[in-house]
Amino acid sequence: MLMKTASQSLTEQLCARFAERIRSRLLAPGARLPSVRLCAQQQGVSVSTVVAAYDQLLAQGLVVASKNRGFFVREAPPAHDRPALPVPMAQADADSANVWSTSAWMATRRAPVDATALIRGMFHRVSNKPQPGMGVFPAEWLETTFMAAAVRRVTSASALREFSLSYGEPMGDGGLRRALSQKLGALNVHAAPEQIITTVGATHALDIVSRTLLRPGDCVMVEEPGWAVEFARLDAMGMRILPVPRRADGPDLEVMAKYCEIHQPKLFVSVSVFHNPTGYCLPPGSAHRVLQLAVQHNFHIVEDDTYSHLAPEHATRLCALDGLQRTIYVSGFAKILAPGWRVGFMAAPADLVERLLDTKLLATLTTPALLEKALAWCIDQGQLRRHAERIRTRLDAARARSVKLALAHGCTFAAEPAGLFGWVDTGVDTDALAQRMLDEGYLIAPGALFHAVRAPSTLMRINFTTTQEATFWKVFARMRDGMK
């Protein structure tokens, strides 16, 4: 709580609190500050104190005022100015027009939500409490003894000298690529080691694919809701984002077909297994239809299988059905094993490998051989498999507890709970709720963060590993009820 001191007035303290959140991106560009009266009530200060604090934020250039609407975090200037897509409405029926053309039109005219707000927020310690908005497992869940043993095995004096004084293999450590080839085979994704390229995490792999296959102005279909980082990354590269609604039965195929007919997209980005944030898995029928569209309209599909270690091996994967013809498989190990190792990879069609490798070489030359060799040992010895099994068992128990608490505190699930994340309907504006929860030391992930264009949402994504205690839900219910 704010307390008057000899060195700093209440106005100065309140201004500093909001300024810190804005600069650390806990308040994203475009986010609305609480109304003056609501802020005064939340902070236990007078209306005049809030007005003065907001005036100071205005003077610092951190917020802008909109008549009759309130105060908003100042938007960053657009990185590029590109024309909007033509939308030939005559080619679409009225029933579907709002779904496919309006969202595409807006997504190409306005920058998506600043994803760095989500990234910074996930790793910015607002308190020592478990954070429901985080996108990873807690560090204590990932602790092992075999990782240290793996590093020791590959850091003998001679090996360390060899790894340090040479760049290593451009495609990545051969032993790791062989281990990955066998691991993918268990998922029915058949890729020879020569079709696998290691990367600095899965995000780097996605970036290599985009830079190889796309040029500024190209259209890209991306599932919505979806990963905020992917929306922002493609926008920063000058791509035109076509949001595809993701439902329980897969991506909206009618929307995809209309995009294909009108905009000729070059790429479709999909999380087919344990989709983030909904937890949906792709049904076989929908997967076949997506692949048919790819062949018919000549676009590639990049399948982000970041959560493969949490999913059953029999889950439907586009790359398994397609045989790596028009699909590119991307995954990594940050979520399940070693975020700091930054080891990811892609498996690609044979005719794309050299082009993808050229892009990797231009960006990073090679990737660190030492950690790749250590990871290969973890896979070969079965350590990674056993570790993932333990994590899945522990996650199942955490999910059951979290779901029970969410339901008991008046929430509903917009998607069947599965995987690491829950897609929860709170019944109130979660952007506004997020600011109230920050005051209580909790960082939540509002639903607006998972759309190409920010819009009010009552949904939020929760991490089941950090929402299995009643303490959070009691605070959540008190903050939510205070908004009704």
Domain count, the chain: 3
Write down the pLDDT at residue 401.
98
Mean pLDDT rounded to a whole number for the chain: 88
Strand order in the sheet with 412-413: 412-413, 421-425, 459-463, 445-446
- Strand pairing class (412-413; 421-425): antiparallel
Residues 154 and 131 occupy one common structural domain: no
Residues 211 and 337 occupy one common structural domain: yes
pLDDT band at 163 (very low <50, low <70, confident <90, very high): confident
Give the domain-ending residue among 381, 400, 426: 381
Give the domain-ending residue among 381, 412, 442: 381
Model confidence over 473-482: pLDDT tens digits? Answer: 999 999 999 9
Q: For residues 232 and 97, which has the higher predicted lDDT (pLDDT)?
A: 232
Residues 246 and 302 occupy one common structural domain: yes
CA distance 25 to 40: 22
94 contacts 120 by C-beta, under 8 angstroms: no
Contact partners, residue 412, CB within 8 Å, separation at least 6: 424, 425
Residue with tokens 């500093």: 16
pLDDT band at 338 (very low <50, low <70, confident <90, very high): confident
Write down the pLDDT at residue 76.
62
277 contacts 424 by C-beta, under 8 angstroms: no
In this structure, is residue 291 part of a structural domain?
yes
To which H or E segment does residue 359 belong? helix 353-364
Residues 188 and 309 occupy one common structural domain: yes
**Does position 50 have pLDDT exceeding 90, yes or no?**
yes
CA distance 213 to 232: 18
Range of the domain at 455: 126-135+386-481
Write down the pLDDT at residue 20.
85
CATH number at residue 277: 3.40.640.10
Q: Considering only the C-alpha atoms of the chain, give the largest distance between any 2 of them, rounded to a whole number of Å.
A: 71
Residues 366 and 405 occupy one common structural domain: no
**Does position 447 have pLDDT exceeding 90, yes or no?**
yes
Model confidence over 136-161: pLDDT tens digits? Answer: 999 999 999 999 999 998 888 777 77
Burial class (CB in 10 A: 0-12, 13-18, 19+), 89: exposed
pTM equals: 0.83
CATH number at residue 67: 1.10.10.10
Sign of CA dihedral 289, 295, 299, 302: positive
Q: For residues 23 and 169, which has the higher predicted lDDT (pLDDT)?
A: 169
Nearest Cα to Cα of residue 318 among 357, 296, 285, 277: 285
Helix %, strand %, coil % of the chain (to 5): 50, 15, 40
Model confidence over 166-219: pLDDT tens digits? Answer: 788 999 999 999 999 999 999 999 999 999 999 999 999 999 999 999 999 999
